[in-house]
């Protein structure tokens, strides 16, 4: 009775239903809706909110000729490369490596400091970063104390400020990943290399890093996806300004949809962002599946 | 090739002693660089603490001329502090409860039955976490408008639960995989149904893991700014993450001291929860965090 077993088999999976329902209604649904709405002139208020018209590829054509979109795409790439791929990733690795050599108390204290910035609610971290980089904030007070120039960071160097702030906020994650990875590296291998005369840097480059390359790839994927979605930090610090100089894609999507009320165009931007996230997500899942035996 | 391996295995006690000696020798430069890096991470937090104690705080970092608890006293009112914190609590506890319930139900068949659907389902779920939530907010807002759910606490809770659900399913399943099947089989022999066995045998055994998932989701929901910012409109519903903007006066004046004091009181619960989890299940939390992204 294959049919009956099949029926029973499906019935056994009934408890999965609530999760599937939630995911379909609140995740898959909005993604499909975004895809659809990006082909319409849906608005936040007025006639276009009640009865949006199908306008085909018009929103996407607008993206191509828009002044802000290419800039915003470039700033997003800069933000992700600078603060995640280079900043959080390398600093996290450096911290993890240093912590293995330093005294236990020192690494515990510094670890707590790094994690604190990460555990704080994002809005609090954003305000702290805003105060830190503001014209007479802590950073400029320090620079002044050293007799250096004190630029108005949020105005003259908004991208530098948000990139640094995101490194401050997110490095703990990479640090934790690399600490766990380094702990799993068997000490024998490294010690054998030491006996063969390999120095600290050589051991790191030729032994340790190749052994944790799985963790490196996973970490890079995850921090890229996280950083791609950062909104609050930038919005509080610069609100995308001045003159769009720090408008990344999430900020642009928000502004177009909610500030200018152009839901159709805003969802077109959001769709691009979802597609970028989807590509990275697909690569990430491939990596995970290959890593599994 | 074999010699160093043999040597390192032959003398474990010497190895450990050698390592601890090497540790103290190389530790000073590592200690110093680590402390310098740690200082960079603490600096932005100084402002938060000092300003909260300074009745005349600005975004300058300075030791208050006279330390006072005036800022804390000023925000101790139902409208400013207690209502927003209560809203945060309802939102976070609700999100964590919904997430945990759905995740436990979903994890049970995925952990207990072998099927060729399991692995594609798990990866599809994981793919969901890769989509940038900030990009989904525009379509979700549209969805909420259509369904007339804007400013509804329950709807916001279900949406927030959905965004944390994929990771919760992964974590819960891996905790459940750790509970041996043989224990349930004994209960089935005694005539218990599968759901009874889940409730009376499996869940109590994975209590700690469930606690980790709950706290993990709670912390995320507590710190979430963007979702309630877009979906909850009325002041009476706003959680602390959003109500914090009330410290920005209407004419550009910012009550910095009160903002800092509020930030500290708002952050304390999640800092405490993080310490509980990090103490109780340090490694598993670090790992689950690693997958979460």
List pLDDT tens digits, range B224-234.
999 999 999 88
Instruction: Say if CB B134 and CB A249 are below 8 A apart.
Output: no
CA distance B213 to B248: 35
Answer yes or no: do A117 and B60 touch at CB < 8 A. Answer: no
**Residue in chain B nearest A227 by alpha carbon:** B132
The ipTM is 0.86
Instruction: Say if CB A139 and CB A153 are below 8 A apart.
Output: yes
**Residue in chain A nearest B100 by alpha carbon:** A19
Note which residues in 19-78 of chain B have CB less than 8 A from chain A: 19, 23, 26-27, 30-31, 33-35, 37-48, 51, 58-61
Chain B interface disruption, residue of A102, A234, A235, most B CBs within 10 A: A102
CA distance B9 to B4: 8
CA distance A116 to A114: 5
CA distance A44 to B39: 46
Secondary structure (H, E, C), A19-63: HHHHHHHHHHHHHHHHHHHCCECCCCCCHHHHCCCECCCHHHHHH
Query: What pLDDT, on a 0 to 100 scale, did the predictor assign at position B280?
Result: 64
Residues of B in contact with A9 (CB under 8 A): 113, 115
Residues of B in contact with A116 (CB under 8 A): 41-42, 45, 271
Q: What are the angstrom distances between the C-alpha of B204 and each of A25, A153, B200, B276?
A: 31, 53, 7, 19
Instruction: Say if CB B238 and CB B84 are below 8 A apart.
Output: yes
List pLDDT tens digits, range A204-256.
888 888 888 888 888 998 899 899 999 999 999 998 878 888 999 999 999 98
What is the least distance, in Å, from the CA of B34 to any CA of chain A?
7
Long-range contacts of B273-276 (CB under 8 A, 24+ apart): B273/B215, B273/B218, B273/B219, B274/A115, B274/A119, B274/B219, B276/B215
CA distance A225 to B293: 8
User: Is pLDDT of B62 > 70?
Assistant: yes
Residues of B in contact with A10 (CB under 8 A): none
Q: Which of B59, B127, B142 minimises the CB distance to A131?
A: B59
Answer yes or no: do B223 and A263 touch at CB < 8 A. Answer: no
Residues of A in contact with B19 (CB under 8 A): 187
Long-range contacts of B281-285 (CB under 8 A, 24+ apart): B281/B208, B281/B209, B281/B212, B283/A180, B284/B209, B284/B212, B285/B212, B285/B216
CA dihedral B112, B118, B121, B127 (to 10 degrees): 90
- CA-based nearest residue to A215, from A171, A177, A175, A186: A177
In sign, the C-alpha dihedral spanning A220, A223, A226, A228 is: negative
Strand locations in B156-266, DSSP E?
none
**Residue in chain B nearest A92 by alpha carbon:** B37
**Residue in chain A nearest B122 by alpha carbon:** A285
Kindly report the number of other CB atoms within 10 A of residue A183's CB atom.
12
Compare B81 and A9 and report the one with higher pLDDT.
Answer: B81
User: Is pLDDT of A56 > 90?
Assistant: no
Answer yes or no: do B139 and A136 touch at CB < 8 A. Answer: no
In sign, the C-alpha dihedral spanning B280, B281, B283, B289 is: negative
Answer yes or no: do A285 and B126 touch at CB < 8 A. Answer: yes
List pLDDT tens digits, range A108-139.
899 989 999 999 999 999 999 998 998 888 88
B2 — contact with chain A (CB < 8 Å)? no
Residues of B in contact with A113 (CB under 8 A): 38-39, 41-42
Query: What pLDDT, on a 0 to 100 scale, did the predictor assign at position B252?
Result: 64
Answer yes or no: do B165 and A106 touch at CB < 8 A. Answer: no
User: Is pLDDT of B13 > 60?
Assistant: no
What is the least distance, in Å, from the CA of A90 to any CA of chain B?
13
A114 — contact with chain B (CB < 8 Å)? yes
pTM: 0.85
User: Is pLDDT of A100 > 70?
Assistant: yes
B103 — contact with chain A (CB < 8 Å)? yes
What 8-state DSSP symbol labels residue B78? I
Instruction: Say if CB A31 and CB B140 are below 8 A apart.
Output: no
Answer yes or no: do A121 and B35 touch at CB < 8 A. Answer: no
Q: What are the angstrom distances between the C-alpha of B170 and each of A91, A98, B41, B265?
A: 28, 31, 31, 32
Chain B interface disruption, residue of A112, A124, A204, A274, most B CBs within 10 A: A124
- CA-based nearest residue to B122, from A232, A261, A23, A172: A23
For A278, phi and psi rounded to 5 degrees? Answer: -65, -40
Answer yes or no: do B4 and A129 touch at CB < 8 A. Answer: no
Q: Which of A26, A258, A273 minimises the CB distance to B135?
A: A273
User: Is pLDDT of B176 > 70?
Assistant: yes
- pLDDT, mean of residues A188-205: 81
What is the least distance, in Å, from the CA of A153 to any CA of chain B?
14
List pLDDT tens digits, range B119-134.
888 888 888 878 888 8
Note which residues in 150-189 of chain B have CB less than 8 A from chain A: 158-159, 161-163, 165-166, 169
CA distance B190 to B151: 49
User: Is pLDDT of B17 > 60?
Assistant: no
Answer yes or no: do B270 and A121 touch at CB < 8 A. Answer: yes
């Amino acid at each position: 009775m294959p049919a009956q077993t099949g029926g029973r088999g499906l019935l056994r999976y009934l408890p999965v239903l609530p999760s599937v329902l939630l995911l379909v209604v609140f995740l898959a649904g909005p993604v499909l809706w975004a895809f659809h709405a990006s082909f319409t002139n849906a608005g936040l208020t007025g006639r276009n909110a009640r009865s949006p018209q199908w306008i085909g590829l018009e929103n996407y054509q607008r993206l191509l000729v828009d002044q802000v979109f290419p800039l915003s795409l470039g700033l997003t790439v800069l933000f992700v490369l600078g603060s995640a791929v280079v900043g959080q990733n390398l600093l996290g690795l450096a911290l993890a490596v240093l912590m293995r050599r330093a005294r236990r108390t020192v690494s515990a204290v510094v670890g707590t400091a790094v994690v604190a910035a990460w555990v704080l609610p994002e809005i609090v971290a954003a305000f702290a970063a805003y105060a830190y980089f503001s014209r007479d904030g802590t950073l400029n007070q320090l620079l002044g104390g050293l007799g250096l120039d004190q630029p108005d960071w949020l105005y003259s160097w908004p991208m530098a400020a948000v990139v640094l702030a995101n490194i401050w906020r997110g490095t703990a994650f990479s640090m934790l990943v690399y600490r766990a990875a380094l702990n799993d590296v068997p000490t024998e291998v490294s010690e054998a290399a030491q006996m063969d005369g390999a120095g600290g840097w050589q051991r790191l480059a030729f032994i340790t890093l190749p052994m944790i390359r799985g963790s490196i790839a996973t970490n890079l994927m995850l921090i890229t996806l996280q950083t791609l979605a950062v909104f609050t930090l930038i919005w509080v610090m610069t609100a995308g300004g001045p003159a769009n100089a720090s408008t990344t894609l999430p900020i642009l999507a928000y502004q177009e949809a909610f500030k200018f009320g152009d839901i159709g165009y805003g969802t077109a931007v959001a769709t691009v962002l979802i597609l970028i996230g989807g590509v990275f997500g697909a690569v990430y899942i491939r990596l995970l599946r290959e890593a599994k035996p | 090739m074999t010699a160093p391996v043999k040597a390192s295995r032959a003398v474990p006690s010497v190895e450990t002693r050698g390592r601890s000696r090497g540790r103290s020798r190389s530790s000073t430069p590592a200690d110093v660089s680590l402390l310098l890096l740690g200082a960079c991470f603490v600096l932005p937090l100084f402002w938060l603490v000092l300003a909260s104690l300074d009745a005349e705080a600005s975004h300058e970092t300075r030791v208050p001329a006279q330390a006072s608890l005036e800022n804390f006293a000023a925000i101790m009112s139902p409208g400013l502090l207690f209502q927003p914190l209560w809203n945060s609590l309802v939102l976070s506890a609700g999100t964590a409860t919904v997430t945990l319930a759905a995740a436990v139900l979903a994890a049970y068949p995925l952990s207990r039955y072998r099927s060729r659907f399991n692995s594609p389902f798990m990866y599809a779920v994981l793919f969901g976490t890769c989509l940038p939530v900030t990009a989904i907010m525009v379509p979700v807002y549209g969805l909420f408008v259509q369904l007339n759910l804007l400013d509804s606490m329950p709807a916001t809770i279900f949406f927030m639960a959905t965004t944390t659900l994929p990771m919760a399913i992964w974590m819960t399943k891996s905790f459940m995989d750790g509970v041996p099947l043989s224990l349930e089989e004994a209960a089935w022999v005694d005539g218990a149904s599968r759901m009874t066995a889940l409730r009376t045998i499996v869940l109590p055994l994975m209590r700690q893991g469930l606690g980790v998932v709950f706290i993990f989701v709670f912390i995320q929901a507590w710190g979430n700014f963007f979702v309630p910012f877009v979906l909850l409109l009325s002041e009476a519903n706003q959680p602390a993450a959003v109500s914090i903007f009330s410290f920005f006066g209407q004419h550009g004046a910012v009550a910095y001291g009160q903002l800092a004091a509020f930030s500290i009181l708002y952050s304390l619960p999640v800092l405490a929860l993080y310490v509980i989890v990090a103490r109780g299940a340090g490694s598993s939390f670090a790992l689950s965090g690693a997958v979460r992204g």
